[in-house]
Amino acid sequence: MAPIRSGSPPGQAILATVTTVVWHRRDLRLGDNPLYAVPRLGDGGSVSDCVLPLYCFDPSEFARRPCTAAIGDGDGVQQWDEISVGPFAARFLLEAVDDLRDSLRAVGGDLWV
């Protein structure tokens, strides 16, 4: 049975486009994500007929923020800037996102960043 959009005239089924958003956070390889193994509706498969791969960079992971810690016997306090993603990890992340985009383009998709 075809999906029915709310507000459709009685007795008429209107096909609705079902879009699945795949929000990539840590697993940035197609082979690691089981959602890409599920056939789409247009292929005679299951739920979705459109897949929208998405990756969002979190600016807070790249920003410097103050960090304070006691050192030694607790009398001294040292302050420094801390970042979640250092320069080497940032480069690795950028390369992983580029590789994911290339993998998706190779199978006819794309990655929204």
Please list the ranges in the chain whose pLDDT falls under 70: 1-16, 38-48, 66-82
Residue/partner pairs of 35-41 with CB below 8 Å, 24 or more apart: none
Kindly report the pTM of this predicted structure. 0.64
Q: What is the pLDDT of residue 96?
A: 94
Q: What is the pLDDT of residue 1?
A: 37
